Amino acid sequence: RNFVNAPAAKTGIKVVSTPDLRWARRDIKSVNLLAPVLAKQFALESGAQEAWLTEDGVVTEGASSTAWIVKGKTLISRPLSNKVLPGITRKAVLAYLAESGFSFEEREFTLEEALDAEEAFITSATSLVMPVTTIDGHTIHNGAPGPTAQRLREIYIDYARKGGVLG
């Protein structure tokens, strides 16, 4: 599978929200993947590629990704805690902030805030940096991948190629 040239990087992906049914220690990678699998199945049945898990109106993370929104020149994603699984791609994106010209605000954000964001995207080992263009049927960034997600994807792929991670 060619992660670098994924067609969805040019079109963006659809996300649906669903309640986060996982246990309280989400930071521990375990074999108990029933809740994320059910969330992914819900996304597929809804015509989406990913599900954003929510708890009390707050986005926790994607079923298999880290959830991000963009406001101005600020990237926003949830703080690391026992409520999320820390993503290696998230860590890489944060390492490239100086080059990207963006700042980072580590805080929770609501689903409503995500629907109002200038951009949204996910990060994961298989999607790298992937623009989100629709959340629960609401269009984000005019329904096209935004410049922030596109630029972060370019930077990530460039660094990964230089480090021998991507061929």
Show which residues are catalytic.
Answer: 29
DSSP characters over 71-102: ETTEEEEPPPSTTSPPPHHHHHHHHTHHHHT-
Calpha distance 118→48 (Å, rounded): 20
Calpha distance 40→18 (Å, rounded): 10
Calpha distance 167→162 (Å, rounded): 9
Closest CA to 122 of 87, 74, 83: 87
Calpha distance 24→1 (Å, rounded): 33
Angle at 154 between CA 89 and CA 118, to 5 degrees: 80
- Which H or E element spans position 14? strand 13-19
